[in-house]
A and B are shown apart, each in its own frame.
Chain A
Amino acid sequence: MSRARRGTAPVRPPIRLFRNLSSKIAAIPMVLVGLGVFVGGTIWTVVYSFTDSRLLPRLQFVGFEQYERLWSTRRWLVSIENLAIYGIVSLVFTMCLGFLLAALLDRKIRFEDTFRTIFLYPFALSFIVTGLVWQWLLNPDFGIQSVVRSMGFPNFNFDPLYNSDLVLIGLLIAGLWQGTGLIMVIMLAGLRSIDEDIWKATRVDGIPIWKTYIIVIIPMMKPVFVTALVLVTSGIVKLYDLVVAMTSGGPGISSEVPAKYVYDTLFTRQNLGQGFAASTMMLVTVAIILIPWAYMQFREKRQ
């Protein structure tokens, strides 16, 4: 036995700060990013949204003036309205379609992998690519409209990208194409995590499949739905690239969205204070959606 191997062991507890030192050093990037960028940046933007900064940020406070101006700007109001319409419709369709596809794939079908690959691949593509492809498909002179017309329906009209009443439909078609795959995968994971025995039990009880979904499965999937909901909504708020690629906000200002308003105000119109006010409003929107969710999560954890 080697008994004299140890040196003199420290008798006192080491200084708190230096215990676990490597770990604290390794955590520096997290602290810098979390506090310095996320918290600090957010506070900075909110503070400067109360100033009259134009080309350069400066601390000349003007109260709520930027917000008043924001809410009386037509382009911002259109942006908000677009976002609300796009958001609600896209939410409903993404959830329904995502669940439907997941439920279909969950029926122990053949070629499940192939179908899943097909439904999900658009998610790998950027919004720019998505927007440009659909811009081409919806091109009135060469795309779907012209093909249908040439098939013997000369009066067929479908040119959403050139019609300010329909432009959101164009965006929705492309947005859903890109994003439903993700929700499908999440829903599928949720469906797969449901105990097989539940299906056996409902079969023994003779409950029809559609009814099983409605009264048993969907209520059990509540957390998955909530997650999907949060994911879709926080994605919608960020909607920007797709609009830029498909319509650049047009025709006119009919497809403007808040994220684009912020970018244009900050970087092309160089009206910083206004841009900060608009981005603060976006933050508020996200907070309104997220706080109830965070509260719910927190309560569930406590139980």
Chain B
Amino acid sequence: MTHSIEIKELKLAFGAVTVLEDLNLQVGQGEFLVLLGSSGCGKSTLLNCIAGLLDITDGEIHIQGHNVTWEEPSKRGIGMVFQSYALYPQMTVEGNLAFGLKNARMPRPEIAKRIKRASEILQIEPLLKRKPAALSGGQRQRVAIGRALVRDVDVFLFDEPLSNLDAKLRADLRVEIKRLHQTLQNTMIYVTHDQVEAMTLADRIAIMKGGQIMQLAPPAEIYNRPVNKYVAGFIGSPAMNVMEGQLDAGNSEFASARGLSFTVKGYEFDGAPTSGPVWLGLRPEHVQSGKWAAGQPIQREALVDMVEPMGSDTQVWARVDGQEIRFRMDGQEKVDIGDRVPIGFDPARLSLFDKSTEIRL
């Protein structure tokens, strides 16, 4: 079989407002794809289009080789898990799991078998007779996953399933979803705006902005080689340092507008290097400081403006030749406002973007 999901030229408009346009996407069999983007960029809309919960304006959607563009949601072979759990409050957990199967007129023994299997996998057997109101948030979301599981489908769609949970539970369930994916080997599309979820779960991440996919790539590539300034700024915490400046392609010199300048020899250009105005991105965690600065190709001295101790490490706001740079230091090292700290970094780990198009150079 070819792709698990194939979306061609998808367009979706609510009246005059176009939310998705010319969107193409292919998801492989058993792939875990994460849709990541800021609020309102159209992630849920895309997911709802795949599920058939929204009538698309134009384009085609194929699931497992079938054109399902105008197919009912229940006949697309998908299961869906929602942020607010969306459990039917008047039914027991068992009733919730069985609802879809009963609608499909499945024989009772088969329903019982599927519920048994799903509740074993998700460890919700003791909860089967309870109503959703008597469950904790984590248990509810487990049941919601179970409801997709019993459908025994090829594709799972998750719409921010963990956003309503507290941090600890979120981490637990994240691991569980990953394990589930390894067990079932289904195709999963997972919407989130949590970077950590995206990085840890995804085979590939699609970064969305304004209804378009900016970059579709494995997590490491998104992190190391963001295709444009938006992706670069979106991924990574704390956010990347972005400096405005001029690139001289001839001798590979970068000069920031604020006065910092250094060579970018070692940077892998996407195409032929060109001179001109650019944005330069430098991740805070790629800046070495103190004794580790010594081995780095580029070394400077930073004047500390402000420090934010976080325990494991300390975030430092500093100025280097008038250019503001944020970086991280080991939490054990002492640093104070007004200190001078040696820093160093490697041009190979920089990102350079064209000033006007903001595309990676």
Contact = CB atoms under 8 A, between A and B. Distances in A.
Interface of A: 1-3, 5-14, 19
B154 A3 contact: yes
B9 interface: no
Nearest to B75: A6
Interface stretch (B61-69, B260-268, B316-324): B61-69
Query: Which of A9, A11, A13 has most B Cβ within 10 Å?
Result: A9
Interface string B55-82: 1000000001011111100011100000
A16 B309 CA distance: 61
A11 B70 contact: yes
B66 A9 contact: yes
Contacts of A13: 69-70
A11 B71 CA distance: 8
23 contacts: A1-B152, A1-B154, A3-B64, A3-B77, A5-B77, A6-B66, A6-B68, A6-B71, A6-B75, A6-B77, A7-B75, A8-B66, A9-B68, A9-B69, A9-B70, A10-B70, A10-B71, A11-B69, A11-B70, A12-B70, A13-B70, A14-B70, A19-B55
Nearest to A12: B70
A1 B156 CA distance: 13
A9 B75 contact: yes
Contacts of B152: 1-2
Nearest to B67: A11
Main secondary structure of the interface of A (DSSP, over half): loop
A7 B74 CA distance: 12
A191 B342 CA distance: 63
Nearest to A8: B66
Nearest to A19: B55
Contacts of B70: 9-14
B109 to A, nearest CB: 16
Contacts of B69: 9, 11, 13
Contacts of A3: 64, 77, 154
Contacts of B55: 19
A8 B66 CA distance: 8
B77 A9 contact: no
A6 B76 CA distance: 7
A143 B138 CA distance: 69
A2 B76 CA distance: 12
B154 A9 contact: no
Nearest to B55: A19
Closest 3 CB pairs of A and B: A9-B71, A10-B70, A9-B68
Contacts of A7: 75
Contacts of A2: 152
Contacts of A19: 55
B230 to A, nearest CB: 31
A5 B152 CA distance: 11
B29 to A, nearest CB: 10
B212 to A, nearest CB: 24
Interface in B220-252: none
Nearest to A10: B70
